[in-house]
A and B are shown apart, each in its own frame.
Chain A
């Protein structure tokens, strides 16, 4: 927890600015593969291209498996079934 030099590009701010992500080498490879696939598709025709898998652009982004919080737009809990059991705990406020 020592003080460190000022943050480099790629850091996140609390505001609306989006992070600058560095692509993982494997992701870059997927992008290149996607571009090559597209070239094959255009150059060799649809008949041959049906066997080529074009990587969707979205999947070429480096997967963020770090601790970023929730990625879901819904924050809904899952209701339980009906029950006549007594409460096992309570939410009283903090």
Chain B
């Protein structure tokens, strides 16, 4: 098969979100990317009974052998929980189910579920056995790797596509994106950060290498007016968070880190979110419930550019 080297991109649906892959390299890499995302979804979806995550949840209390890539996902989830002091908690599955998110989001739309669950939390008691490639969830605890799975999938794809010959890659899974190398046409990667409450971007950032992730209560929200719920669970209350923020976007070195930090900063609100990001050297943009923009002190390094390419001024 002849190899075609050019800028190429592909959009498709997977992992319950829109996926966008941009490659500066052989066009055949796009199919490789799609196959890999779909394979990871089969491993990590909590909505597929045969996935490794479903098996872990089903057999909580017993060691379960998993693939190295799933072991890596769980280890990152635990690293994220430790780094954020438990604000990011990968074991809020029971709370998510009790909030009604008990099926894929496409099936949830227009539905007002009243699901129950007896699952509790307990990330600190998850046992990882690297030598045996096995994981043990505590009995009665469920794992929900939805967000971090997208971030880590972007990390994996970028590394693999670069190793396969791409000069530059951008992988975006529902707003969790990772970039590396040169974009087609040169220059930095330019990424718009959508405003959660208004049409158009809240900011446009340039990034040479790293990741961007946004957690928003406006996405993956369900239920009737007056009883709207969303997927960002506060482990302190077990309920959808009300932190005074509508969304948080984080720029970090890796996709899974950006995802973990975006969630944790969202839960921390304006009071603790910025400090949480500063503690690990990351930057971000917090958007409050009134649409006001609150960039971290280093966020301006990513928005430097000509007028119109920086942070958009928004009247609160």
Contact = CB atoms under 8 A, between A and B. Distances in A.
Contacts of A69: 72, 75-76, 79, 256
Interface string B216-257: 101110000000000000000000000000010101111011
B176 A94 contact: yes
A13 B128 contact: yes
Contact of A88 (B68, B69, B150, B191): B191
Interface stretch (A30-38, A49-57, A73-81): A73-81
Interface string A1-35: 11111111011111110000000000000000000
B281 A93 contact: no
Given A1-B52, A93-B218, A14 B123 contact: yes
Interface residues of B, number: 93
Nearest to A82: B305
Contacts, number: 226
B2 interface: no
A3 B206 contact: no
Contact of B124 (A8, A14, A66, A74): A14
Contact of A80 (B150, B206, B211, B214): B206
Nearest to A7: B129
Contacts of B65: 1-2, 4
Chain A interface residue count: which class?
35 or more
B104 to A, nearest CB: 14
B contacts with A: majority SS:
mixed
Contacts of A12: 75, 78, 127-130
B20 interface: yes
Contacts of B306: 82, 84
Interface of B: 17, 20, 22, 52, 55, 59, 62-66, 68-69, 71-72, 75-76, 78-79, 81-83, 123-132, 134, 136, 147, 150, 170, 172-177, 183, 185, 187-194, 196, 201, 204-216, 218-220, 247, 249, 251-254, 256-259, 261, 280-283, 301-302, 304-306, 308-309
